[in-house]
Structure 1
């Protein structure tokens, strides 16, 4: 089944002509224009999650079983409260309006609208995405993006994947999609989903499906436009946005949010207004992005509205035409294209999503793509180290594409989640004593870097620190914004602790934030010729509070030996290191103590840099040198002279 992911998109061409040094780096110029994500080139991007089902933020259960509360199957019918998901989806910075394609091979029981994976109780080794998709290309401004999805022509083996993994009972490798035989005979589609921006508010879209098999095969492509449900959660539903349709040569979906009150957390001037999705002539389906009560929660549970989120699955795959709205409007709409793709052949669908009426909108699509792809080539040619081979350049480009594709609009107001939106129907009281009850201040409306938008579709403090260093290679402003974000009052706890991850914000991650701040500061200074001391100083003040929280909370005996939490290099253990052991025992960790030694040195280096412009910081530098000496001494000579390193054990 192996194919070069660049054979259709051209995005694998990592080199440019010998005259590349004379070519203007337009992508670098776009990055320089960006001030924030509210407007400009980063307003639209790949900010839709790969998975919102099974997340803590969508879990309103009494027992905190996030995976069990909202499953893959229920996700088709349950409107999301905190964020949407899809395959290669894009949205605006606050995820008011989303776009993503869905597919159907005429054999699956439902549309392929989101990626499938097994849960921790279903997988052979925990949760694991089973669909195959590849981040082919992306640029920091998201002026060009490409993702490859591999869609089987046979029925997708949902049940077989769960049963096959459970039979292995934790032994041996995972039972993967390719193990089911569904790709035998190359009977699958390579679907390339590409985006190119003509300008910050005008996106060309191209979906190309290659039939890799020996026979013609049908493929339904449903480019879908929908509003995130922001109106149905309170005691009384609010005004709704609307999507309607115009025809004339082709088809145009028109999305309008002008009459909808904004969430008070969103800046008052932020609004999308009218948006136009142009496509070739096709049937149009409408529904509402609302929960289907019975399918989401079981028989007897009423739906708020007649037409619900899962209407397109039921209309196309189950033949129930009554599920779609007959009046030509809704909060979710799809263009429905059915193609029969010849063996070894391909079909291409061109679309355009823009903020203005555009006559003959589709005629310029290929030219927009050609320009943006050529500019991406120039950008990555100049990013690559001198002397790198073509393969090394391609590896770097694909790795950065993966990083850029895993940005997500991370929306989560913990206080509102704990209390519920409707006072008449509060969440179970048990949740107030469950996870994240002490993090009511955390309120994210940010585009953030995820470890992985399916496996871990939430930020993780130390993952974000490492990712920021890679981001600094291509977009220093974004890297600095990400590091400052966790130090901002809406994230950092009043105690000074940084939030770990959604599963439990109060867990401890290794204190690598100061190291990342120092590293990104120097990368930006060296690569861009500007020392951003103002940003460094702002971060330093918040890092001082974070350091104090470690000393006060994690060194309870005051002996400079630190304890508890998820503090090693993914050193998973058979017990919860964040909880007291039998008889109140506490785990004191050499790795935790080593991290704190590094924390001291990082803060010392930052203080010395700031002291170049303000001698007041000299005292802070000497303070952290002193604290480092204390930590180093403790590692060599703990209580009664015992070191943390046992030379006999070599451990």
Structure 2
């Protein structure tokens, strides 16, 4: 980046990268849900949701990490600054977002609050958050009961449905954080009465220490928060608040203190003992019922600054607090100037990121998608060995827990900040999700994105066998191996010069590649299994648990992912070989491995010549093969397996000689190599059997699992609007199956796949997400990027019909742009001011003045309408919309 393009935020990022200033030390690394997680589950049966339910969270200390609303903390989460609210009617403070536990609804594990991540920067010098809090009693039980009553054919019952937002009877609460320095944090809280009548609210910014002292014998050192002069004193930290009304801020009403320790008497009854007379829910009980449950000595490990505000309709108040470790009480004279300055710098940073000429609606999508990623960073703490054996100060957990979950992962000891799928529904990392997060995040902070990809490959995450941990509920499950593709994307976005990073990930990924080849190719035929592969219910059966007497499923997606993996490692090896020639030898290995996988995929039953599509194949014990003829994203992953050798293979004579020798010995492998003169007509391409890399006259040497000829036939199926092409992207299963369900009987069990554009009606693999029709961003984004790569290698004259049946032919790059626009349109206003598709179910969300500029980034989208479904704050991989905006032609 040119010096004149370096905004102050870019300078802070550079200072953090170089170690000159610790700008990333403090950030929004606080989950919005720690209850109901595997980490907090010490049950005998592994039912995490029931062992630590929502109603325990306010009274029970967390063992591993904290949760809160609009929370900030340090990298090790020694302390947390977060927000609590009370509308005067609820039976408990609003200290964390509410949602259904997994078993409580037709979708399950579903947040039922409305909040948004409006802005953020890579160093968290500026973060903005917004929440709408009902003035009526929050309908907790109504939401639980109605969602439990509803079946899978009915829509979820949401907070808007209860009527609590009628007549605008709610509070708008905004939290803006600005950093004066790496360890000097300004918090501006803005509270607006949106309702038609005068109303009162309690606002309680709260500082506490994560409980690190209760688990050992003897008890660990316990920190203290004490009352100071207009401040809370917490060891080296000072949280200052205003003590008199000013033109900018409001004076605090009082300060309240308790301890971040479990109220065992309340939760567990007779025989239980509290370690503190003022446990974790002491502030809650005092505010809600006036109980004498806060420490009159005004010390503790949890403390709130309480503001009681009574506001007229439309009235707004501002609260100002400042957290610093600089010693003394930080002042407020420069508060407003600093907040305005950091906000302006955030504007400058994001204006620099956005493409020139981008319209305001797309700018909003881009900025809030990136903001959601910054807010989805979370401190993740989980020592599996300690979790299995228990803490010295507590009874040992029930025996046999390791056979329920994660028993083979006792080396895993996480204590890191990680980009999570989201902060409420998925407050834990998932390996393939994280790869997509890093691709998008690299557009604003490539160094952090690189560190995330390296992190999961470190010895305290990756198994000694080379397997990467999949996700918290089952580290031993299998996710698609997307890390290599993400590493290459991040490497390029970072300028393509950090060869140390590339080498670090390459060596570890080779171990993982070997694990795949040793464990997921049961037939030793270069056709791979893998299980559900992150696609939950996309198949007619649970691919992870096929009955032993049924045989095995050789998967089109797993096989294609391994072809992609081989090509990505080949590209890494060739790139590194230009700096260290030893990599030429290993590059040949991945060239050969790719050709074997591609040949197997095309010649051993995954390819259907009749349907021009790739399918999973059930291989029964007698050796017969039965294609599972479901037209789905499973059969599109092969399209993403391509690589042009031109350029990266030049100047590497040993590699080229080895490839020529290999092609002489294995002439069938040449079927995976296409020579295409640049800008040639399709009929001029040839699939070569010649033992050389470059055709006479120059051009492109393309390695591809799907040949250009087959690609056009596959895409004809995909781009059919009555099939896989929806108005909002590529469906996960073709709408053709709406009238043509696929049936199969395996081991005496009849199974079926049909087209389900919305929420799942199947309980296969948990039943809480649906890959049987909706649009998902991750594979759409991969396919779009692959089409662009194909065009760059085959030339613009290679065209396909888009949409199918229209007679309109476009180059693959133009098709990629049109697909991207369909996905981006999900978040844009419709024609003539119609609601944006993602929020069309509730006009309030996209037409009301107080709501319409705030965007939700859902987990997936209705295959026909584009309505948002699943998790509502999934600015993990759905943030790929930012990547699409940044790569799509204006």
User: TM-score, normalised to structure 1's length?
Assistant: 0.90
Query: Is the 2:257–2:300 Cα contact (8 Å) retained in structure 1?
Result: yes
Partners in 2 of 1:37 and 1:47 — Cα distance?
A: 20
* Higher mean C-alpha displacement, 170-179 vs 78-87: 170-179
Aligned residues of 2:378 and 2:418 also touching (Cα < 8 A): yes
How far residue 283 of structure 1 moved from its aligned partner, in angstroms, is 1.1
- Distance across 2 between alignment mates of 1:23 and 1:515: 29
Q: Which residue of 2 aligns with 1:332?
A: 302
Displacement of 1:646 in angstroms is 6.3
| Count of aligned residue pairs for this structure pair | 605
In the TM superposition, residue 444 of structure 1 has moved relative to its aligned partner by: 0.9
Equivalent residue in structure 2 for 1:153, among 132, 135, 152: 135
> For the pair shown, which has the larger CA radius of gyration, 1 or 2?
2
Residue 433 of structure 1: which of 386, 395, 403 is its match? Answer: 403
Residues 232-273 of structure 1 deviation map (CA, whole Å, 9 limit, x = unaligned): 0123212200000112xxx200001xxxxxxxxxxxxxxxx3
The 1:447/1:647 distance shift into structure 2, 3 A limit, reads same
| Aligned counterparts of 1:282 and 1:39: Cα–Cα separation in 2 | 36
Tell me, what secondary structure is at the counterpart of 2:176?
strand
Structure 2 counterparts to residues 78-477 of structure 1, below 5 A: 78-247=60-229, 251-256=230-235, 273-280=236-243, 281-321=252-292, 323-358=293-328, 361-422=331-392, 425-477=395-447
Per-residue deviation at 1:39?
Answer: 6.5
- Taking the aligned partners of 1:516 and 1:43, their CA distance within structure 2 comes to 25
The structure 2 residue matched to 1:561, chosen from 527, 543, 565, is 527
2:512 matches 1:546: yes
Structure 2 portions without partners, runs of 5+: 244-251, 612-628, 632-890
Work out whether residues 215 and 393 of structure 2, in 8 Å CA contact, stay in contact via their aligned partners in 1: no
Question: How far 1:303 sits from its partner (Å)?
Answer: 1.8
Give how far 1:605 is off. 0.5
User: Aligned partners of 1:557 and 1:363: how far apart in 2?
Assistant: 72
Distance, in Å, in 2 between the alignment partners of 1:37 and 1:154 is 49
Encode CA deviations 1:548-574: one digit per residue, 9 max, x unaligned. 000001112211111132326555457
- Closer, same or farther: CA 644–78 of 1 in aligned 2, 3 Å: farther
Q: CA–CA distance in 2 between the matches of 1:444 and 1:306?
A: 32
Deviation at 1:647, TM superposition (A): 3.0
Map residues 583-622 of structure 1 onto 2, 5 A cutoff. 583=549, 585-622=551-588
Which whole-Å CA distance do the structure 1 matches of 2:224 and 2:190 have between them?
A: 29
**Preserved contact between residue 26 and residue 73 of structure 2 (Cα < 8 Å):** yes
The answer on whether the counterparts of 1:450 and 1:458 sit within 8 Å (CA) in structure 2 is: yes
Change (3 A) 1:561 1:329: same
Residue 492 of structure 1: aligned partner: 462
CA distance in 1, matches of 2:591, 2:534: 23
Q: Give ranges in structure 1 of 5+ residues lacking alignment.
A: 1-19, 257-272
Q: Is the 8 A contact 1:191 1:210 kept in 2?
A: yes
SS at match of 2:386: helix
Counterpart-to-counterpart distance in 2, 1:22 and 1:605: 34
Q: Identify the residue that residue 260 of structure 1 maps to in structure 2.
A: none
Native 8 Å contact 1:564 1:586 kept in 2? no
User: What secondary structure is seen at the aligned counterpart in 2 of 1:437?
Assistant: coil
Greater RCO, CA 8 A, separation 6+: 1
Q: Is contact 1:42-1:200 (8 Å) kept?
A: yes
Query: What is the deviation of 1:524?
Result: 0.5
Q: Do 1:23 and 1:378's aligned partners in 2 also have CA atoms closer than 8 Å?
A: no
CA distance in 2, matches of 1:384, 1:297: 54
**CA deviation profile, 1:197-240 (whole Å, cap 9, x unmatched):** 00001011110011111111101001100000000012321220
The structure-2 alpha-carbon separation of the partners of 1:22 and 1:433, relative to structure 1 and needing over 3 Å to count, comes to closer
CA contact (8 A) 2:324 2:330 kept: no
**Are the aligned partners of 1:278 and 1:353 in contact in 2 as well (CA < 8 Å)?**
no
- The alignment partner of 2:39 has SS state of helix
Matched, 1:577 2:543: yes
How has the CA–CA distance of structure 1 residues 410 and 574 changed in structure 2, closer, same or farther, with 3 Å as cutoff? farther
Match of 2:762 in 1: none
1:380-429 CA distance string (max 9 Å, x none): 01100122112212211111000110000111111111111117621111
Q: Structure 2 CA distance, aligned partners of 1:510 and 1:589? A: 12
Q: Secondary structure at the match of 1:629?
A: helix
> Is the 1:508–1:567 Cα contact (8 Å) retained in structure 2?
yes
Does the 8 Å contact 2:457/2:508 carry over to 1? yes
Distance 2:393 2:13 in 1: 45
Q: Which residue of 2 aligns with 1:261?
A: none
Distance 1:365 1:576 in 2: 56
- Shifted more, 309-318 versus 476-485: the winner is 309-318
Q: Is the 8 A contact 1:38 1:93 kept in 2?
A: no
Q: Over residues 261-311 of structure 1, what are the superposed CA-to-partner deviations in whole Å (9 max), with x where a residue is unaligned?
A: xxxxxxxxxxxx343333434311111100011333344322222211011
Q: 1:646 to 1:289 in 2, by over 3 A?
A: farther
Q: Which one of 610, 626, 643 corresponds to residue 647 of structure 1?
A: 610
Aligned to 2:50: 68
Q: Does 1:629 align with 2:592?
A: no
Relative to structure 1, the CA distance from residue 426 to residue 317 in structure 2 (aligned partners, 3 Å threshold; closer, same or farther) is: same
In the alignment, the residues of structure 2 paired with residue 582 and residue 54 of structure 1 have an alpha-carbon distance, to the nearest angstrom, of 33
Q: Give the Cα–Cα distance (whole angstroms) in 1 for the partners of residues 403 and 253 of structure 2.
A: 51
Matches within 5 A, 1:28-67: 28-35=10-17, 40-67=22-49
Please identify, of 304-313 and 600-609, the stretch whose mean Cα deviation from structure 2 is larger.
304-313
d(CA) in 2 for partners of 1:556, 1:36 = 47
Counterparts of 1:517-528 in structure 2 under 5 Å?
517-525=487-495
Aligned-pair distance for 1:325? 1.1
Q: Secondary structure at the match of 1:348?
A: strand
In structure 1, the residue corresponding to 2:175 is in which secondary structure? strand
Q: Secondary structure at the match of 1:491?
A: coil
Q: CA deviation at 1:359?
A: 5.3
Deviations 1:589-634 (A, max 9, x none): 1111111110011001001100111121112112111111111111
Structure 2: distance between partners of 1:234 and 1:331:
17
SS of residue in 1 equivalent to 2:102 = coil
Structure 2 distance, partners of 1:90, 1:525, is 31
Measured in 1, the distance between the counterparts of 2:237 and 2:387 equals 30
